[in-house]
């Protein structure tokens, strides 16, 4: 039968020619991912089930990124449990304080995920790697434990939605605005357990844009997000010593729905509390006073994101009533940002700069909100209490909108404060 891109990758990993949406299959995995919150649960399950050996020491990646550097005794205990497991089983890809980055930025950067791979991770934003043309999805810690032992995972074959992208993004519009617009159109359950497949004119979307878009597929309820492969993908792979393994959807593949997205019509977009689909263009949002701005996360902590923020902040000062926290997603991104002068720009403008960590994104540390406080964040979720007190509010936005908001002290676009993107 004809297959979508996602269905072809899964079929190849379960060695079946014919699969159909809804079918449950056992598939081989190319990489199993865990972090400092989900890995301890998986490790306990692995050991309680009698696990003696992992299936492949080079196909498991454990990254201490959520509550590290450890914020309290419980976080320290969780990381110690993972460290002991790594030593006991000889796990090769372990990233701790000083080496670690936010997992979904670090693994592509290191070349540990690549096109055509089947990757599972005990973190919902594992779908990020679809930017490379991989099938990647989040699973529970029990599935992670089973995969560490056997190298396999149970999957239900998803049906698919196709997004045909047309024209080019304009001005300060980035991948974050694209995916927020799409989530606003679909709703937070509009792609439930479906594959979101992106094709068409991808030329104006950088790899960082694509990582951001694939990362937030889960916010529409999707099983995964995935991009067709082009020259930008292949160049990214070549730079990391990987060969491109391309799976193309059949021309007569079946999709539940097909959407045409005119990138030129998308405007800088904000998701209001308390759902990622509560979106509107920032210029229609009203200039809401903001207490804190966070620029970072697995969604928007990459070098291009920091470059955009630095371009807007350079020569300006953060509003005296607004705290601003900048978190480079990996150590390499941090170093590159230092070399390019971005870190100096952030500090001179009045921002705090953190070591890589998920930190405030999940209300972990490094920027918890008090009752009644409002934050603009380049993160991916704005649920009730996501970044602190249940009566705080999080507005999701791009690095450009976040940086402009930091200067104004209220929710605005860069153009609203006289900053245009001249290229």
Q: How do the residues of the chain divide into helix, strand and coil, expressed in percent and rounded to 5?
A: 35, 20, 45
Q: Which of 56, 15, 49, 215 is nearest to 132 (CA)?
A: 215
Q: CATH code for 5-263?
A: 3.30.499.10
CA pair distance 112, 132, nearest whole angstrom: 11
Residue 174: half-sphere exposure toward Cβ, Cα within 13 Å: 29
CA atoms 100, 106, 109, 110: torsion sign: positive
Residue 106, number of CB atoms within 10 A of its CB: 25
Cα 414 to its chain centre, rounded Å, is 24
Domain locations in the chain? 5-263, 271-417
CA pair distance 309, 307, nearest whole angstrom: 5
CA pair distance 245, 115, nearest whole angstrom: 5
Residue 336, H or E segment: helix 331-339
Q: Write out the chain's pLDDT in tens, 423 residues.
A: 789 999 999 999 998 888 999 999 999 999 999 999 999 999 999 999 888 899 999 999 999 999 989 889 999 999 999 999 999 999 999 999 999 999 999 999 999 999 999 999 999 999 999 999 999 999 999 999 999 999 999 999 999 999 999 999 999 999 999 999 999 999 999 999 999 999 999 999 999 999 999 999 999 999 999 999 999 999 999 999 998 888 999 999 999 999 999 999 999 999 999 999 999 999 998 889 999 999 999 999 999 999 999 999 999 999 999 999 999 999 999 999 999 999 999 999 999 999 999 988 888 888 999 999 999 999 999 999 998 999 999 999 999 999 999 999 999 999 998 888 876
Domains 5-263 and 271-417 share a fold: yes
Q: What is the pLDDT of residue 423?
A: 60
Cβ atoms of residues 319 and 408 within 8 Å? yes
Q: Which CATH superfamily does the domain covering 271-417 fall into?
A: Aconitase, domain 3 (3.30.499.10)
Q: What is the pLDDT of residue 78?
A: 94
Residue 112, number of CB atoms within 10 A of its CB: 21
CA pair distance 123, 103, nearest whole angstrom: 9
Residue 393, H or E segment: strand 393-396
Question: Whole-structure pTM over 0.75, yes or no?
Answer: yes
Q: Which of 305, 334, 278, 329 is nearest to 174 (CA)?
A: 305
Task: Name residue, tokens 């005119």.
Answer: 262
Q: What is the pLDDT of residue 380?
A: 94
């Amino acid at each position: 039968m004809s297959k979508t891109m996602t269905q072809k990758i899964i079929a190849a990993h379960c060695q079946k020619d014919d699969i159909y949406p809804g079918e449950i299959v056992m598939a081989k995995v190319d990489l199993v991912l865990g972090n400092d919150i989900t890995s301890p649960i998986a490790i306990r399950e692995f050991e309680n089930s009698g696990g003696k050996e992992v299936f492949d020491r080079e196909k498991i990646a454990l990254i201490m990124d959520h509550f590290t550097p450890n914020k309290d005794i419980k976080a320290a205990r969780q990381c110690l449990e993972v460290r002991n497991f790594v030593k006991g089983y000889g796990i090769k890809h372990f990233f701790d304080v000083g080496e670690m980055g936010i997992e979904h930025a670090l693994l592509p950067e290191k070349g540990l995920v690549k096109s055509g791979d089947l990757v599972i991770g005990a973190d919902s934003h594992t779908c990020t790697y679809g930017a490379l043309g991989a099938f990647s999805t989040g699973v529970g810690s029990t599935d992670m434990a089973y995969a560490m032992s056997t190298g396999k995972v149970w999957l239900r074959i998803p049906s698919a939605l196709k997004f045909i992208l047309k024209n080019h993004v304009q001005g300060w519009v980035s991948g974050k605005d694209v995916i927020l617009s799409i989530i606003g159109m679909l709703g937070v359950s509009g792609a439930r357990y479906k594959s979101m497949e992106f094709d068409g004119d991808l030329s104006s979307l950088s790899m960082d844009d694509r990582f951001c878009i694939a990362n937030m597929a889960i916010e529409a309820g999707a099983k995964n997000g995935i991009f067709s492969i082009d020259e930008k993908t292949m160049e990214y792979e070549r730079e990391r010593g990987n060969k491109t393994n391309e799976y193309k959807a059949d021309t007569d593949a079946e999709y539940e729905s097909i959407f045409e997205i005119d990138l030129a019509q998308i405007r800088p977009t904000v998701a209001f509390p308390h759902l990622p689909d509560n979106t509107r263009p920032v210029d229609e949002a009203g200039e809401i006073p903001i207490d804190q701005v966070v620029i970072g996360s697995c969604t928007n902590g990459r070098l291009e994101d920091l470059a955009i923020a630095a371009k807007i902040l350079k020569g300006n000062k953060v509003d005296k009533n607004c705290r601003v926290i900048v978190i480079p997603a990996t150590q390499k991104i941090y170093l590159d940002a230092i070399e390019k002068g971005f870190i100096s720009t952030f500090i001179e403008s009045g921002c705090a700069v953190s070591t890589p960590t998920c930190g405030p994104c999940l209300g972990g540390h490094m920027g918890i909100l008090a009752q009644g406080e409002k934050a603009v964040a380049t993160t991916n979720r704005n649920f009730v209490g996501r970044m602190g007190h249940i009566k705080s509010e999080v507005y999701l936005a791009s690095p450009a909108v976040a940086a402009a908001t930091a200067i104004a002290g209220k929710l605005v676009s860069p153009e609203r404060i006289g900053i245009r993107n001249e290229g």
